[in-house]
Amino acid sequence: MNRLLYLLALLLALTACNIPPTPTDNFKIAVIVDTTTDAISQDQAEAVIAIANEKLIDLTGFGLQLVGFIEEDSGVSVKNLVTDYMGRHMNNLPNGILIFSVGDEDRAKINRAYAQQIPAPEGFRNAFVSPHLGDGYMYVAIIQFNHHYAACGYGSMDTIQSSISIGEECRGEEGTACAEWEGMQVCPSALPFLEGHTPIDLAAGPVIHEIMHAFGDQGPEDHYTSETCQKAMGWEPGHYDLEEAEYYNDFCPFVYNVFADSYQP
């Protein structure tokens, strides 16, 4: 009987170890879908945020809470989208805004995602205070949800043009037979990474990555692979671990501590 009770207690303890920690508080985020350049449903956006929430809790102790979802077809710039949103929601502003779009000048289409920090209206104070910007900014992540990962056969177009790679696709190996992944054509060499992933979970990491840019001050040098990060972390030159890089969303680990320490409610 005592052995049975011991085993039951051990099982409960092990189960508890797998329960995500309760967040200290939440980084509140609103979603804007630029329907003129990208498409994602509210259910899909909520799924992206749910995965990003688990990641952020694990990394910082803070959750990511979705507080608004709107679709916009105005076709205006990122700054105007954000400014318009803030003007309409001044009494209930989030800490950050996630925009699904190709971005200004196709920046998200080219790079998958990027960040902007836009001054907020007078009277707003962000509870997550960037040590480099202060507390008067809205932190913005711009991500193309329908990004063509390792595009094959598109020829820089939005739709499939060929069943084989064109031009510089697939590392310039023109004529490579394309593979299929999640309804898209991709370079076969990318399949080992893409298989087991979906557009939902691949979008979650960049959400966190782009938010973190407001809490580092080195731009690209805040990335996981940068020399600045390697020195800050005490790593050997050229340090790279794929699982570690994915865990930290390709961002330098120490910046997550900066983010956690920035909370000043």
pLDDT computed for residue 261 by the predictor: 96
> 106-149 pLDDT, tens per residue?
999 999 999 999 999 999 999 999 999 999 999 999 999 999 99
- The full set of domain ranges for the chain reads 26-147+206-215, 151-186, 219-260
User: Cα separation of 231 and 136, whole Å?
Assistant: 31
Pairing of strands 26-34, 96-100: parallel
Q: Which residue is listed with tokens 């490579």?
A: 176
Residue 196 has what pLDDT?
85
pLDDT of residue 16: 44
Instruction: Please state, in angstroms and rounded to a whole number, the distance separating the CA atoms of residues 141 and 194.
Output: 23
What pLDDT does residue 22 have? 63
Q: Which residues in the chain show pLDDT less than 70?
A: 1-24
- The arrangement of strands across the sheet holding 63-72 comes to 63-72, 26-34, 96-100, 137-143, 113-119
**Are 62 and 27 a contacting pair, CB within 8 Å?**
yes
Tell me what pLDDT residue 21 has: 53
Nearest in space to 64 (alpha carbons), one of 222, 240, 226, 210: 210
